[in-house]
């Protein structure tokens, strides 16, 4: 299980180009230090009341500690597919399994920290058990209230989450 930041820095990811083609591999540390393009997933988990679950990132995280983020997110390991990563992260972070529906892909940019991001949605009423190594808390939010909160207090949310929310707010 992830969570040990020393180990996390040595995880190996695929380095990709602007078109998301694999061109090399490197450790997490190297990728972030050199600002290389790589891959990640973000999952938006909704319940049947159309509320969205957000996670508050652990203060031990090296990126965006203590900020609210998508329901589940993670880097795609070298040789792993986006879909495999999404199912793995959903289980590792929230202890749930669900049907993941690909929403869209976001090209690598500053807001995503040079990550090509595959965004998924999931609707479930399964009991969520957060991974305390990675997440300090999590809860469901009413979408209208959440949209107001991101505008009123943008500093409380990750840049990736705000980008995803703004890009797809018409579907919510």
Instruction: Flag whether the pTM goes above 0.75.
Output: yes
On the question of pLDDT at 72 being above 60, the answer is yes
Confidence of residue 63 (pLDDT cuts 50, 70, 90): confident
Q: What are the structural domains of the chain? A: 5-171 (3.90.79.10)
Separation between Cα atoms, residue 169 and residue 163, nearest integer Å: 10
Band of pLDDT at residue 168, cut at 50, 70 and 90: confident
pLDDT higher than 70, residue 99: yes
Mean pLDDT of the chain: 92
For every residue of 64-101, DSSP letters joined together read: STT-EE-SEEEEPBTT--HHHHHHHHHHHHH------E
pLDDT at 57: 95
């Amino acid at each position: 299980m992830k969570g040990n930041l020393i180990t996390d820095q040595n995880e190996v990811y695929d380095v990709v180009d602007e078109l998301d083609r694999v061109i090399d591999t490197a450790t997490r540390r190297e990728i972030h230090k050199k600002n290389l393009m790589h891959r990640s997933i973000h999952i938006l988990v909704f319940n049947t009341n159309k509320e969205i679950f957000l996670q508050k990132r652990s203060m031990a995280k090296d990126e965006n500690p203590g900020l609210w983020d998508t329901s589940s997110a993670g880097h795609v390991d070298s040789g792993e597919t986006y879909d495999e990563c999404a199912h793995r992260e959903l289980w590792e972070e929230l202890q749930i399994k669900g049907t993941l529906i690909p929403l869209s892909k976001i090209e690598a940019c500053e807001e995503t920290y040079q990550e090509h991001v595959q965004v998924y949605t999931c609707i479930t009423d399964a009991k969520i058990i957060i991974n305390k190594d990675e997440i300090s808390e999590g809860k469901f939010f009413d979408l209208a209230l959440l949209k107001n909160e991101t505008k009123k207090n943008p500093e409380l949310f990750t840049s990736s989450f705000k980008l995803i929310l703004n890009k797809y707010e018409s579907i919510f």
